[in-house]
Amino acid sequence: MQLAPLFPIFYQILKPAFPNCLWCGDHNSKMVALTFDDGPHPLYTRQLLEVLDRYKIKASFFWLGACVNRSPEIAKEVYSRGHWIGLHGYDHQNFPMLSPWELQHSLEKTLTAIYNACQLQPEQVRDVRPPNGLFTPETLKLLRQWSYRPVMWSVVPEDWALPGTYTVVQRVLKQVRGGSLIVLHDGTHGGQDVAVTTQTLIPQLLELGYQFVTVDTLWQQVRFEIT
């Protein structure tokens, strides 16, 4: 089942219901954030970095701790280029299926992997995107309790299902607006096409007048901050 048509509906329902998450930035701006989940991957992430370097664009990466441990040199390469780093759990388990201890341990193991690869201190990596976008009010309560910032999405073109570059790009262009938080994947599922998709998408968004920023910049646009 293709979920892509449903994500804009989910967004409209969930955004007002859970306002203390980052769903988007300022709709009156021309800023958008490209974000990439499930990496780093030894091949796909490196291909993606070449595209981002070509256009001098900074993106945001939400990493799996297990992937960081498998490819620490790629993780270091991403961070050294100035991209924003967030957490996606250790091994892509849905957060609501974990006990509070298991969730905290998953995030802390990921922080340790990132520190070992990039020398990034834990307090420098506080953004968390739940795998598959699944969370509960209790999940958010725990994340706030542990001083994390929950980051969600506003444009999800379902690239992990590999519908083809053209389809993914058209889905993004149909939904994008100022402040959009766009989710793509550079991991095992979806990463096969991510470099070509990004290479195709960036020039078209630039032509439409959009400026690319990191998730941290979108946080600065909203009027609240998770405490």
- Give the tens place of pLDDT for each residue, 153-164: 999 999 999 999
Catalytic residue among 37, 38, 159, 216: 37
d(CA 191, CA 178): 25
| Phi–psi pair at 82, nearest 5 degrees | 90, 15
Calculate ∠ Cα 118-122-126, nearest 5°: 110
pLDDT at 4: 87
113-162: pLDDT as tens digits: 999 999 999 999 999 999 999 999 999 999 999 999 999 999 999 999 99
Cβ atoms within 10 Å, residue 147: 11
| 92 counts as catalytic | no
Contacts of 94 (CB under 8 A, 6+ apart): 130, 131, 132, 134
- What percentage of the chain exceeds 90 in pLDDT? 94
Q: Which CATH class is domain 4-221?
A: alpha beta
Please enumerate in sequence order all residues whose Cβ is within 8 A of that of 82, keeping only pairs 6 or more positions apart, or say none: 58
Which pTM was predicted? 0.96
The pLDDT assigned to 129 comes to 98
CB-CB contact of 78 with 45 (8 Å): yes
> Which is catalytic among the residues 38, 185, 186, 193?
185
